[in-house]
């Protein structure tokens, strides 16, 4: 039986090594080309045209990089949305990572029945973002919102005012809601990373007299560097693309004070119907996400790279 299995495995390996795997991956390759590469190429082509359904004179003529020049040099609203999105991503992801990592460390060190607690942590993360937007919009509604009522009672919010209509409170509130939703995600990923760490380095550090803080900084953090990179990249990408919660809660208001870059792209494309210019905005979103991923990856791995270069 084992000889037959070995012969079958060798034959399969021979077929894979000689190109027989191409028909097997062809369906997945076609799906990627149709649903990812195709729309991306069409977006780039549209960004190089003046296509607009609101202006009959702009019927999709090729204009080169005029949309990008207009976007970068003269669109103040784009840059306002861009820097607002950057601040949102940096603050929200930093708080989520700090709280999530701290909570994961406490659970790993001091909680014995981790399964029940991790199940409860899943609740905010498992709710659809649209539902979260509706829930918090109703709770913070200015006239009958339950959270607004208690904020008025406690004197934390002036009478006849609402959180989402306050220029000073709207973005901190959006960040707090995002932290509430996605901190459990960071906690679960970091907890899984902590539980997978080998025990030998910690036992050796204990024998050398290292305390909990030295074990955390000198043992745990270097071992967790790939997990940290993964968490930061996933949350950075997702936060930069944030749309549904904010759109439902504020619609980008008051004014444009909570108009993230994704909401601005939506407004240009599907309210103004300026598809050529909107495709340029969407491409800039993709480009910035790509740059952020590269920066986060290098920021986390720079010690490993330097160590490998010296070796």
pLDDT tens column, 44-78? 999 999 999 888 888 889 999 999 999 999 999 99
pLDDT tens column, 230-289? 898 889 889 988 999 999 999 998 988 999 999 999 999 999 999 999 999 999 888 888
Q: What is the mean pLDDT of residues 71-97?
A: 93
pLDDT of residue 241: 87
Q: How many residues make up the chain in this entry? A: 311
Binned at pLDDT 50, 70 and 90, residue 307 comes out as very low
pLDDT of residue 86: 92
Residue 110 burial class via C-beta count within 10 angstroms: exposed 0-12, middle 13-18, buried 19 and up: exposed
What global pTM score does this model have?
Answer: 0.84
* Residue 175 pLDDT exceeds 80: yes
* Residue 24 pLDDT exceeds 60: yes
Residue 288 burial class via C-beta count within 10 angstroms: exposed 0-12, middle 13-18, buried 19 and up: middle
pLDDT of residue 89: 93
* Residue 3 pLDDT exceeds 70: no
Neighbouring C-beta atoms of residue 129, cutoff 10 Å: 17
The CATH superfamily label for domain 61-124+172-301 reads MetI-like (1.10.3720.10)
Percent of the chain with pLDDT over 90: 37
User: Taking a C-beta distance cutoff of 8 angstroms, is the pair 281, 268 a contact?
Assistant: yes
Boundaries of every domain in the chain: 61-124+172-301
Q: What is the mean pLDDT of residues 82-111?
A: 91
**Stronger pLDDT, 142 or 93, i.e. the higher one:** 93
């Amino acid at each position: 039986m084992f000889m037959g299995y070995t012969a079958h495995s060798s034959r399969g390996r021979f077929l894979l090594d000689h190109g027989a795997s191409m028909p097997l991956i062809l369906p997945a390759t076609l799906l990627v080309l149709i649903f990812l590469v195709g729309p991306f190429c069409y977006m780039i082509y549209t960004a190089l045209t003046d296509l607009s359904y609101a202006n009959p004179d702009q019927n999709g003529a090729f204009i080169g990089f005029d949309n990008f020049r207009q976007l970068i040099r003269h669109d103040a609203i784009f840059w306002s949305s861009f820097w607002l999105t950057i601040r949102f991503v940096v603050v929200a992801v930093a708080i989520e990572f700090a709280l999530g990592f701290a909570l994961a460390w406490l659970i790993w060190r001091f909680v014995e029945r981790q399964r029940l607690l991790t199940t409860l942590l899943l609740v905010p993360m498992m709710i659809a973002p649209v539902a979260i937007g509706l829930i918090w919009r109703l709770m913070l509604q200015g006239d009958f919102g339950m959270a607004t009522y208690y904020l008025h009672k406690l004197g934390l919010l002036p009478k006849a005012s609402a959180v989402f209509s306050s220029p000073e409170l709207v973005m901190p509130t959006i960040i707090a809601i995002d932290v509430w939703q996605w901190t459990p995600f960071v906690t679960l990923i970091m907890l899984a990373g902590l539980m997978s760490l080998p025990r030998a380095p910690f036992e050796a550090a204990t024998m050398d007299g290292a305390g909990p803080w030295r074990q955390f900084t000198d043992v745990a953090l270097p071992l967790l560097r790939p997990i940290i990179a993964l968490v930061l990249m996933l949350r950075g990408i997702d936060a930069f693309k944030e749309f549904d919660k904010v759109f439902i809660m504020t619609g980008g208001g008051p004014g444009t004070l909570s108009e993230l870059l994704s909401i601005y792209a939506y407004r240009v494309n599907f309210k103004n119907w300026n598809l050529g210019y909107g495709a340029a905005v969407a491409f800039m979103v993709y480009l910035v996400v790509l740059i952020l991923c590269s920066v986060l990856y290098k920021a986390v791995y720079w010690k490993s790279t330097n160590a490998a270069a010296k070796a």
